[in-house]
Amino acid sequence: MTPLLELDAVSKRFPLGRRRLFAKAPPPEVHAVSEVSLTVHAGETVGLVGESGCGKSTLVRLITRLLDTTEGTIWFNRREISGVPARFFARDTNRADIQMVFQDAGESINPRFTAADAIADPLRKLLGLRGAALQARVEEAATQCGLPLTLLGRYPHQLSGGQRARVGIARAISTHPRLLVLDEPTAALDVSVQVTVLKLLQQLKAELGLSYIFVSHDLNVVRLLCDRVVVMYLGRVVESGPAQQVFEAPRHPYTKSLIAAVPRLEGTRPTAPRLVGDPRSPIDPNPNACRFHGRCPAGFDRCGTAMPALREVAPGHLAACHLND
Amino acid sequence: MSNVLSVQDLSVAFHTRAGVVHALDRVGFTVGAGETLALVGESGSGKSVTAYAIMGLLEAAGQVTGGRALLGEIDLLAASPAALARIRGKRVAMIFQNPRTALNPIRPVGTQIADVMRRHGGATWFNARDRAIEALRAVGIPDPARRARAYPFELSGGMCQRVMIAIAMAARPDLLIADEPTTGLDVTTQAVVMDLIAEMAAQTGMATILITHDLALAAERARRIAVMHAGHVVEVAETATLLARPMHPYSARLIAATPTAAGALDDLQSVPGALPDLRGTIIPACRYAARCDRRQADCGETLHPHEAEPGHSIACHHPLGVAA
Ligand SMILES: Nc1ncnc2c1ncn2[C@@H]1O[C@H](COP(=O)(O)OP(=O)(O)OP(=O)(O)O)[C@@H](O)[C@H]1O
Ligand SMILES: Nc1ncnc2c1ncn2[C@@H]1O[C@H](COP(=O)(O)OP(=O)(O)O)[C@@H](O)[C@H]1O
Ligand code: SF4
Ligand code: SF4
Ligand SMILES: [Mg+2]
Ligand SMILES: [Mg+2]
């Protein structure tokens, strides 16, 4: 089966400051995303986790083609889309196929747009719909998201957090996309509202055959919603595999610390060592050292002299750590 | 165990153009020395208003309309602004959800800690700076002498929250109120920040009120949990009891909506309905009634929190686990 989305060694670096003429060394760079490879199949939900600043949102912006890659290729439905400059992607044939849902629907929806305007916006811009056809699609999307049509005339501040989240999702699915990229869609919601939004996503996936990339720092939500999970640390994928397997038997020390830090209702936590300190600087990191070295509770000499490769540790389960050698 | 704080019948109203909002109604709970009490409930349930009322930091539209908050002998709700200002920072300290906005953006963090040290911590002009650096070291900030000169925007969210804790702990308060102290932080940073609060409490016998909407965090960190809904404390019990045998229908629903416990998404249940409108005068006796599937005719009758069993109090006419 060919994947819907495929990333091959994708990197994004942001130069700090301008390159000066005649300067001896190139300017320092923030390595936001480094050599990330991943695939998303049709109907699959892939979770993307990792601490703040590890590059999740940058990766998402590369996939949705809001940013250009520095290196690597992105394939969507067998077509290379990384070659299309971000500024032209708005008019690209695949633009309507990849849609995005943002963290705080309240902030990402234009406050002067009614719910109907917000849902209609991508239909107008990307599909050129007008009049009755437009209205029909707006109502279809609202209904699919369980948003009462009577609320379509309201402005964002007149809607509850859960209703705003529904508008954000309705807007994203209105163009009939194949891939939905969700960046912390429930982070601003109460647990109870979160449950309804998660169930809506699950239902839409079953009904419409959508694929999801789901970014979250709530590992419990990822565990419940995702088929596969990708763990990032300082721009690199350090582990990926079936969600169940990664959560039950993590093979990378960072994933282990992450899972151990999640509060449990039972109140007891396994005695995994606490992850202290902050990640290292993403500016020109040492290419010959594990990026977790120095903070890793299991680190040893070799971690400071060689970058561990991402290797298969079990079928479909990859990890990048010298301990697995 | 002696109570550090005893809140009794605390009521708060906000005067708005759209009417009077009865945000808190006869809220009550206690916290003992060295103990952590968690205040949980969905957004808008009144957790922060409770904290602000106790601290005397309600905004002008808010008014305490009844009740007491006893810190030892002193009723914080009746104390003069001058007395309250002395108590705040010295005996009671608070840390806020968004540390970056709570800190002064144009003062180096070390200076801000030194200010509190001088005002409340018994430090002098000469040693306040050293003690501030010591405090930064104590909250696990590497290279504290250099970091003391940093401005809040130069520090990560987790580091700002550690600075807030350093400020809160500067005067060794008897009571710490932590309002969503780790919301927006990574789980790994959250664990470090919460460990730090627990360590401080263990060292000084400080009582802690942990305000959170994360039941799992409360479960892990608190000895007792108070559940709030629409301005009422609906249930208070020891953590293990509350999770294993919730008696209030809302507590049970809240637990069923928490992803931590669920094996699959289908196991999760949302709490039906929404918080009631708290404006005006005709607020039902049980503010959960419109959402409750156990409601009966007598649920409209006056409701008082009562002890269903030792240490387990609820406000419900037909609690779970009790023959009807
Ligand atoms: N300035 C205000 N004017 C009117 N009503 C207010 C005001 N501040 C708070 N309230 C009301 O008081 C109630 C409790 O609010 P509070 O902020 O304490 O909730 P919370 O539990 O802390 O919620 P969150 O988790 O979102 O912070 C809500 O009904 C809220 O609308
Ligand atoms: N435009 C930019 N210029 C410089 N650095 C950037 C830029 N955008 C992102 N970064 C850096 O890239 C890294 C990853 O950021 P981001 O993807 O936003 O993290 P996350 O979403 O996981 O919190 C961070 O170190 C961030 O500071
Ligand atoms: S390679 Fe070394 S430093 Fe990196 S995760 Fe493995 S043990 Fe830790
Ligand atoms: S008093 Fe009645 S309506 Fe209120 S929670 Fe109890 S059973 Fe439900
Ligand atoms: Mg982000
Ligand atoms: Mg609050």
Q: Is residue B64 part of a domain?
A: no
Residue to substitute from B100, B156, B188, interface A, most A β-carbons within 10 A:
B188
Secondary structure of A85-144 as H, E, C letters:
CHHHHCCCCCHHHEEEECCCHHHHCCCCCCHHHHHHHHHHHHHCCCHHHHHHHHHHHHHH
Element at B120 (helix H, strand E): helix B109-120
How many Å is the maximal CA-CA distance in chain A?
67
pLDDT of A206 reads 92
Q: Each residue's pLDDT tens digit in chain B (324 positions)?
A: 589 999 999 999 999 888 899 999 999 999 999 999 999 998 889 999 999 999 998 988 999 999 999 999 999 999 998 999 889 878 999 988 777 778 888 999 999 989 888 887 778 888 899 999 988 887 878 788 888 998 988 887 778 888 888 888 888 899 999 998 887 778 888 888 899 899 889 999 999 999 998 999 999 999 999 999 999 999 999 999 999 999 999 999 999 999 886 788 898 998 988 888 888 777 889 999 999 999 999 999 999 999 999 999 999 999 998 755
Residue B265 lies in a domain: yes
CA distance, residue A195 to nearest chain B CA (Å): 6
B149 occurs within a structural domain: no
Q: What is the pLDDT of residue B59?
A: 87
Report yes or no on B240 lying in a domain: yes
Taking the C-alpha atoms of residue B173 and residue B87, their distance in angstroms, rounded to an integer, is 9
For A17, phi then psi, to 5°, come to: 80, 165
Q: What is the pLDDT along chain A (325 residues), one digit of tens a residue?
A: 779 999 999 999 998 876 666 667 778 899 999 999 999 999 999 999 998 889 998 999 999 999 999 999 999 999 999 998 988 888 888 889 999 998 765 567 788 999 999 999 999 999 999 999 999 999 999 999 999 999 999 998 888 888 888 999 999 999 999 999 999 888 778 888 889 899 999 999 999 999 999 999 889 899 999 999 999 999 999 999 999 999 999 999 999 999 999 988 876 665 566 787 777 888 899 999 999 999 999 999 999 999 999 999 999 999 999 999 8
Per-residue pLDDT at A218: 85
Contacts of A196 in chain B (CB under 8 A): 270
Cα A235 to Cα A62: distance, rounded to the nearest angstrom: 13
Whether B187 has its CB under 8 Å from any CB of chain A: the answer is: yes
Q: Which residues of A touch B156 (CB under 8 A)?
A: 52-53, 278
Residue B259 maps to a domain: yes
What is the Cα–Cα distance from B180 to B185, expressed in whole angstroms? 10
Q: How many domains does chain B have?
A: 1
Does residue B185 belong to any structural domain of this protein? Answer: yes
Whole-prediction pTM: 0.86
Q: Which atom of ligand 2 is nearest to the CA of A16?
A: 4
Q: Is B142 on the interface with A (CB under 8 A)?
A: yes
**Residue at B92 is within a domain:** no
Least distant ligand from the CA of B50? 1
Chain A: closest CA distance from residue B57 (Å): 25
For position B278, which CATH number holds?
3.40.50.300
Residue B160 lies in a domain: no
CA distance B192 to B196: 6
**Which residues form the domain of B205?**
35-40+171-314
Question: Per the CB < 8 Å rule, is A263 touching B192?
Answer: no
Predicted pLDDT of residue A89: 87
pLDDT by residue (tens digit) across B249-267? 999 999 999 988 678 889 8
